[in-house]
Chain A
Amino acid sequence: MRARQPSDVELGRRAFRRRQGVRSVIISIVSTIVFAIVVWITLVNTPGWARVQKSFFDPVVFVEAIPRVAQGFLVNLRVLLYSAVGVLVFSLVLASLRTLRGAIFFPIRAFVAGYTDLFRGMPLIIVLYLVGFGIPGLRITDQRIPAEVLGTIALILTYSAYVSEVWRAGIEAVHPSQTLAARSLGLGHGTTLRLVVLPQALRKVTPALMNDFVSMQKDVGLISVLGAVDAVRSAQIEQSASANFTPYVVAGLFFILLALPMIRLTDWYSARLRGREQIGSIL
C-alpha cells in the first residue's frame, strides 16, 4: 500500500512546488544582498563615518579589550544565574499568594498587588541605587556587602514583579472548569494550583517567561552603576585607558552572544506551540 506510485499530475505539482521553493529562496537571497549593500553604502558615505569607525570599531583596541571584558562578563553570568533562580521562586510565591481567596488573606493580596505596582512602575536603575546604597546604610552586618549581591537583590525585586504578573495571566488563562474539576475530586486550593493549574499555566506563559529572561540578561549589565566590575564596568575602564569606545562594542557583543541562543529557543518553542494548536491545516 505504501508503494503506491504518484500520478503524473501529482508529480507535476510536486515539481512545480519545488521550483517555487527554489525561486523564493533565490529571491530572498538577492533581496537580502541588495538591502545590505544599500545600508552599507549609505553608512559609509555619511560625513563622519571615518571618525566613528576609528572610535567604535578599532581592531587593535577590540582585541586588547577582550580579556578584561570577558573577565567582567563572568560576573554578569553569575549575577544572571542567581537572579534567574531567585526571580523564578519569588515570582511564583507572589503569584500564588495572589490567588488566595477569603477575607482573612486580604492584607496579603493587597501587599502583593501593591508590590507589583510599585516595582513595575519604578525604573530598575532607581531600584539599584536604593538597594545598593540603602541596604548597606542599614548596617545589618559589619562587613561590606559586595555590589554583586546588592545588584542581584535589586534585579530579583524588580523582575519578580513583572514575572509574577506573567504567572498570574497564565493562571487566569487556564479555564475555570479545570479548577472546578479538580475541586470536585476533593483536591484543596494549593494542590489544585500545584498539580492542575500551574502545569497548564506554565505551558501558556513559557514564551513570555523566556522573553523576560532575555530582557533580564542585558539588564544585568546595569549593576555596573553600583561599582561591580562586570563587563560594562570593565569596558569603561578600558575605554578611559585607550580613549576609544570600542571596548563598549566588545561588551555589547558579549551580551548579544549570550542572548542569541535564548532568543532562537524562544522562537522555536513558540512556533512549536503554534504548530500544535493547528494540526493539519495549512492556513
Chain B
Amino acid sequence: MTAVLRLENIHKSFGDRDVLRGIDLEVREHEVVALIGASGSGKSTLLRTINLLERIDDGQVWLRDEDISNPRVKVDAVRARIGVVFQQFNLFPHLTALENITLASRTVFKKSAADATARGLELLDRIGLADHAASYPDRLSGGQQQRVAIARAIATNPELLLLDEITSALDPELVGEVLDLVRELKAEGTTIVMATHEMAFARDVADSVVFLDAGVIAEQGPPSEFFTAPKTARAQAFLSRFMA
C-alpha cells in the first residue's frame, strides 16, 4: 500500500534561519500522525509546506503517487485534495456557517447548490450545529466555530486532513468538543496530520508521534512508547516540562 503522504528530506529556511533541516516522514492511509515539539520547532511550517503554502528549499513532497513539490503541478488542484484547519479558525465572517461549509463544494467542485447544501446540512447535523446553519461566525462560540471549520475542511472529502494546533486558541472548557470531533474522524478512517500541544490527546488518538526539535525529527514512534519511555534526552526534557 502506498503512503497517502511522503516527505523526503524537506528543507526550509527563512533568511538565515533554518526552520526545517531534512524531514523524512510517511503517513499511511487511515493513519493519525501527531507532530509535537516546542514553539518554533517547525511544526506549523511543516504543515504549511505539505499544503504548498510555503515553498520548500529542498526535498520532495509526495501526495500518493504525485510529486506535489514539482512546480509543474496545479497548486489549487493539489490543495483541493487536502483539508486544513487553522489555529484561528479562519472562517469567512461574511458567510453563514452553512455557506462556509459549502463554498468549496459549489465553486471548486462545481456541485449543484442542492447537493452542496444537503451535504452541508448533514455535516452540521453531525457536528451538533444543525440549528446554526444560518448563523454567522460571530454568533458562534470558539468551539462551535472550530467545529464548523473542521466541517468546512472535510466537506469535499479530502484525502488528507491537516490540523494546525486547532485547540490552542480555545478556552479550556471548549477544547473537549473539538477533540471529540477529531476522535470521530479518526474512527471513520480519516488520514490526519496534526500539530498539537494536547499531549493527552496525542497519546490517546495518534497512531504515531513525531517529535520535532530544531527542524529535525528527533524521535518518532507509537505514543505508548514515546510518552512512557522517550529514548532521546531532548524528548525527555520536553516531556518533563509538559507533564510537570
**Interface residues of A, Cβ cutoff 8 Å to B:** 1, 4, 6-7, 9-10, 13, 16-17, 20, 280-283
Q: Which of A6, A16, A281 contacts B53 (CB 8 A)?
A: A281
**Interface residues of B, Cβ cutoff 8 Å to A:** 9, 11, 14, 18, 48, 53-55, 57-60, 69-72
- Kindly report which residue of chain B lies nearest to residue A11, judged by CB atoms: B58
**Shortest Cβ distance from residue A6 to the other chain B in the assembled complex, whole angstroms:** 5
- Asked whether, in the complex, the Cβ of A13 is within 8 Å of the Cβ of B69, the reply is yes
Would you mind naming 22 contact pairs between A and B with Cβ atoms under 8 Å apart?
A1-B18, A4-B11, A4-B58, A6-B58, A7-B9, A7-B59, A9-B59, A9-B69, A10-B57, A10-B58, A13-B69, A13-B70, A13-B71, A16-B71, A17-B71, A20-B71, A280-B14, A280-B48, A281-B48, A281-B54, A282-B53, A283-B53
- Asked whether, in the complex, the Cβ of B53 is within 8 Å of the Cβ of A7, the reply is no
Q: Most chain-B CB neighbours within 10 Å: which of A4, A13, A281, A282?
A: A13
**Complex CA distance for A1 and B57, rounded to whole angstroms:** 14
- Asked whether, in the complex, the Cβ of B54 is within 8 Å of the Cβ of A280, the reply is yes
Q: Could you say which residues of chain B place their CB within 8 Å of the CB of A4?
A: 11, 58
Q: Could you say which residues of chain B place their CB within 8 Å of the CB of A13?
A: 69-71
**Complex CA distance for A63 and B57, rounded to whole angstroms:** 56
- Kindly report which residue of chain B lies nearest to residue A10, judged by CB atoms: B58
Apart from A16-B72, A283-B53, what are 16 other A-B pairs with CB-CB below 8 Å? Answer: A1-B18, A4-B58, A6-B57, A7-B58, A7-B59, A9-B58, A10-B57, A10-B58, A13-B69, A13-B71, A16-B71, A20-B71, A280-B48, A281-B54, A282-B53, A282-B55
- Kindly report which residue of chain B lies nearest to residue A14, judged by CB atoms: B71
**Complex CA distance for A283 and B14, rounded to whole angstroms:** 16
**Shortest Cβ distance from residue B30 to the other chain A in the assembled complex, whole angstroms:** 29
Q: Could you say which residues of chain B place their CB within 8 Å of the CB of A9?
A: 58-60, 69
- Asked whether, in the complex, the Cβ of B59 is within 8 Å of the Cβ of A10, the reply is yes
Q: Ordered nearest first, which 4 A-B pairs have the shortest CB separation?
A: A10-B58, A16-B71, A6-B58, A13-B71
- Kindly report which residue of chain B lies nearest to residue A5, judged by CB atoms: B58
Q: Could you say which residues of chain A place their CB within 8 Å of the CB of B58?
A: 4, 6-7, 9-10
**Complex CA distance for A1 and B215, rounded to whole angstroms:** 13
- Asked whether, in the complex, the Cβ of A282 is within 8 Å of the Cβ of B18, the reply is no
**Complex CA distance for A20 and B72, rounded to whole angstroms:** 10
**Complex CA distance for A280 and B72, rounded to whole angstroms:** 21
Q: Could you say which residues of chain A place their CB within 8 Å of the CB of B57?
A: 6, 10
- Kindly report which residue of chain A lies nearest to residue B12, judged by CB atoms: A280
**Shortest Cβ distance from residue A5 to the other chain B in the assembled complex, whole angstroms:** 9
**Complex CA distance for A280 and B48, rounded to whole angstroms:** 10
Q: Could you say which residues of chain B place their CB within 8 Å of the CB of A17?
A: 71
Q: Could you say which residues of chain A place their CB within 8 Å of the CB of B60?
A: 9
**Complex CA distance for A277 and B57, rounded to whole angstroms:** 22
Q: Could you say which residues of chain B place their CB within 8 Å of the CB of A20?
A: 71
**Complex CA distance for A102 and B110, rounded to whole angstroms:** 55
Q: Could you say which residues of chain A place their CB within 8 Å of the CB of B69?
A: 9, 13
Q: Could you say which residues of chain B place their CB within 8 Å of the CB of A6?
A: 57-58
**Complex CA distance for A1 and B9, rounded to whole angstroms:** 15
Q: Could you say which residues of chain B place their CB within 8 Å of the CB of A283?
A: 53
**Complex CA distance for A267 and B148, rounded to whole angstroms:** 38
**Shortest Cβ distance from residue B61 to the other chain A in the assembled complex, whole angstroms:** 11
**Shortest Cβ distance from residue A218 to the other chain B in the assembled complex, whole angstroms:** 36
- Kindly report which residue of chain A lies nearest to residue B53, judged by CB atoms: A281
Q: Could you say which residues of chain A place their CB within 8 Å of the CB of B14?
A: 280
